[in-house]
Amino acid sequence: MDLVRATTDERVLRTLMEHRRLTRAELAVLIGISKPTAGESVRRLTDAGLIADTGERTAGGRGRGRVGSYYALRQDVGTALAVGIGPEGVIAEAVDAYGEVAARAEQEISRPARPAQVAAAVRTVAADAATRAPAPPRLAVVSAADPVDRATGRLVQLPDAPFLVGELDPVTVLAPYVTGPVAVDNDVNWAAQAERAAANPPLADFAYLYLGEGLGCALVSDGEVRRGATGLAGEIAHLVTTGPQGRAMPLTGVFAELGLHRPGSAAIDVDRLLSAATASPPLREALGRALGGVIAALVALADPAAVVVGGPWGGNEAILDAVRAGFAGGPRKVAIRAAATTALPALTGARLDAASRLRAAIVAAAGAAHAIPS
Amino acid sequence: MDLVRATTDERVLRTLMEHRRLTRAELAVLIGISKPTAGESVRRLTDAGLIADTGERTAGGRGRGRVGSYYALRQDVGTALAVGIGPEGVIAEAVDAYGEVAARAEQEISRPARPAQVAAAVRTVAADAATRAPAPPRLAVVSAADPVDRATGRLVQLPDAPFLVGELDPVTVLAPYVTGPVAVDNDVNWAAQAERAAANPPLADFAYLYLGEGLGCALVSDGEVRRGATGLAGEIAHLVTTGPQGRAMPLTGVFAELGLHRPGSAAIDVDRLLSAATASPPLREALGRALGGVIAALVALADPAAVVVGGPWGGNEAILDAVRAGFAGGPRKVAIRAAATTALPALTGARLDAASRLRAAIVAAAGAAHAIPS
DNA sequence: CGATTCTAGTCAGGGCTCTTGCCTGGAAAG
DNA sequence: CTTTCCAGGCAAGAGCCCTGACTAGAATCG
């Protein structure tokens, strides 16, 4: 059973991913293994083509003593693509195993988004990021501004909800640009992941309410985003809540009634909403009551420790106060606060996951390298 | 690193838990290890006092060949208590590592339940089951018919919800009867666990709606019951839904308005509800609409593959049909069906978990036995 | 009734990975 | 130039596992 050797190699790889470059002696101390073991593992991983002597040597002020050889992940272990697809544009980033962005490409999309155009834009930015990356992408992680089918990764149209990106199969579109799998999820779920990573102390159970052109919600339970059976968890457009006149109606109906949709669309006109909410306290209160009802349902069903509100108009303090007021009537209490990550939160979450998956793929390659010896 | 030896011992223990008694040769074949390794592991586990030669010998029709010695878990590796606490009574069962009930004690409670009386009953049945069990209980798993605080295990009173059992701290009450930890959770969550275990093919994402004196809901996501930050996930009494006249109101208000509560209590009078629902189609439809609204919220937020309805009046087919009709108006679809486990579902779930925790405790003891050698 | 057959369990030898202890190489400090 | 100090390699030994051969003992067969 070479299980113990595999865990040693994994620890060496993970430690190098965390510290970028280390000598064998440093590895032995950090991991808590002996020097011969560290040396053996480094030799195996070098033979497997995963790490290499960087050529750098120690003695940079460490005092006397023999110089050590720094080892690091090889450049060509690969990168991972993080792709963000939204109605206003498409972004692709190639991230390395350290989580750093090595290449980036971006393209705007004319509105309304047409699927063929979006697919072409995704191909363009993916190809661009892939060619400019220092190593070919092994896998891709996609954030899309529409509901995602968990089994297939395709975008799903729900009745009366805005279809911001439209019919699209990111897995098929991106498969030619990567050698490994393509993972797809909703932008709100990725934003919640970014929020979870940013939280200190860690937040294991919370809800993320996204308020933008579309309305979405992500539920994090026991430290993970929970997607539900088909991936449609958190699709709150039809959740029944309190309407402007106190009547019960689906959340999306509230926006229709308040005249906040873009003409001929179920998407929210964010600019109009923000100016209307500033100008009209009653409208702001109506929004707060409607969203407070959504949060009441969230709290009753999922019991989050906090509700994080993000998105283009979710960070607005006046709206946040209205939401707090709209929720306050209920019997339960919960902290409602603005999201910490405001710049491209979904891409941030996708990027974190892309790096994490890339690291897992590299570790798996180390395990496979010895299983099928050359 | 004795990691590999620890996994060998664990596999031997787990295999014995599954097959009750095996010879060393059978262990080697079942686990896929060599005979000497199996023999070594058996010797270690025997020295640690976890397993023993049962005295039984093979050759029961196996043909010629040397007789083998059967080994099995020792009787005194311990049992686990599964305790069910509800308004009508208290049950304690001592289960062994095979999941079989070795002793059982039961006591009724006069209504309304008074905390001191409930605590006394819990002590009585726990002591009774513990003394009649073949080995002392190492741990306890408690199902209680009230919301449970996840951090402390105490029962929680929520406003306007029936407090069926009342102020009680099962951890403190049961600690004297066990040497290890006491785990407490809501009866609905345990019932959902029982349902998950009974489902074939496995159900990883579903919701369990419990309809009894109290109203509850459990959410299973990615194969686990999700309890939320404080353990109050699924407390749906205040979820806003459609009332009898089409007005929005909390679920508990629907029952108040329909006159289905026990006098002076927020608990539902099940007998009255069942006869009224049979006699009056409009009332049945009103119930169906209210519960359909709850399921719509469940589906929007958690996206279950199915909604399982259980509890004293949840299995009623006429009510189930009304619930299906009440939900059908929404944009999403989901299978709504009656629970498979109808006899003491919560205790069944708690019992499964008690056995599972006992097995984990025994395996942990094997790991610890060598860490601190005598 | 003895020889044969067949299986449970043990023993011996060897491989793998880990560890400790010792040695060598080589640059900086004094 | 000598001393100091650290990176790295080598050798020996321990622990766990495996294979293959051996022993023990009961059932079956001729």
The 10s digit of each residue's pLDDT in A116-155 is 999 999 999 999 999 999 999 999 999 999 999 999 999 9
Radius of gyration of chain B (CA): 24
Find out whether A206 and A360 touch, Cβ atoms under 8 Å: no
Same domain, B254 and B328: yes
Same domain, A212 and A299: yes
Q: How many domains does chain B have?
A: 3
Q: Which nucleotide is nearest to A5 (CA to C1')?
A: C17
Written as six digits, the tokens of A279 are: 């100008």
Chain CA centroid to CA A147, Å? 14
CA distances from A91 to A200, A354, B264 (A): 28, 14, 61
Quick one: which of A48, A45, A24 has its CA closest to A36?
A24
Domain-embedded: residue B367:
no
A63-90: pLDDT as tens digits = 677 888 999 999 999 999 999 999 889 9
CA distances from B30 to B3, B287, B364 (A): 21, 53, 22
Chain B CA closest to residue A3: B4
Domain-embedded: residue B368:
no
Last residue of a domain, one of B45, B73, B101: B73
Is residue A45 scored above 80 in pLDDT? Answer: yes
Same domain, B58 and B115: no
The answer to whether some atom of strand C lies closer than 7 Å to the beta carbon of A4 is yes
Radius of gyration of chain A (CA): 24
CATH number of the domain bearing residue B251: 3.30.420.40
The answer to whether some atom of strand C lies closer than 7 Å to the beta carbon of A107 is no
Nearest protein residue, CA measured to C1' of C17: A5
Same domain, B143 and B205: no
pLDDT for B148? 97
pLDDT for A374? 44
What is the Cα–Cα distance from A30 to A22, expressed in whole angstroms? 10
For A35-44, A105-114, A199-208, which range has the lowest pLDDT when averaged over its residues? Answer: A105-114
B125/chain A closest Cα distance in angstroms: 33
What is the Cα–Cα distance from A358 to A76, expressed in whole angstroms? 12
Secondary structure class of B209 (helix, strand, coil): strand
Domain containing residue A152: 78-191+345-360
Residues facing residue A219 across a β-bridge: A207
The answer to whether some atom of strand C lies closer than 7 Å to the beta carbon of A59 is yes
Same domain, B211 and B301: yes
What is the Cα–Cα distance from A291 to A297, expressed in whole angstroms? 10
Q: Which nucleotide is nearest to A34 (CA to C1')?
A: C19
Same domain, B180 and B219: no
Same domain, B215 and B331: yes
| DSSP per position, A257-296 | HTT-BPTTSSSB-HHHHHHHHHH-HHHHHHHHHHHHHHHH
pLDDT for B369? 76
A284-332: pLDDT as tens digits = 999 999 999 999 999 999 999 999 999 999 989 999 999 999 999 888 9
User: Would you give per-residue pLDDT tens digits along chain B (374 residues)?
Assistant: 588 999 999 999 999 999 999 999 999 999 999 999 999 999 999 999 999 999 888 766 566 778 889 999 999 999 999 999 998 899 999 999 999 999 999 999 998 888 999 999 999 999 999 999 999 999 999 999 999 999 999 999 998 788 888 899 999 999 999 999 999 999 999 999 999 999 999 999 999 999 999 999 999 999 999 999 999 999 999 898 888 887 888 899 999 999 999 988 889 999 999 999 999 999 999 999 999 999 999 999 999 999 999 999 998 999 999 999 999 988 899 999 999 999 999 999 999 999 999 999 999 999 887 665 44
What is the Cα–Cα distance from B249 to B258, expressed in whole angstroms? 13
A352-365: pLDDT as tens digits = 999 999 999 999 99
Cβ-based neighbours of A194, under 8 Å, separated by 6 or more: A341, A345, A346, A348, A349, A352
A197-244: pLDDT as tens digits = 999 999 999 999 999 999 999 999 999 999 999 999 999 998 988 888
Looking at every residue in chain A, the average pLDDT score rounds to 93
Report chain B residues whose CB lies below 8 A from the CB of A236: 300-301
Domain-embedded: residue B374:
no
Quick one: which of B99, B80, B81, B79 has its CA closest to B90?
B81
Quick one: which of B235, B221, B218, B97 has its CA closest to B157?
B235
Domain-embedded: residue B369:
no
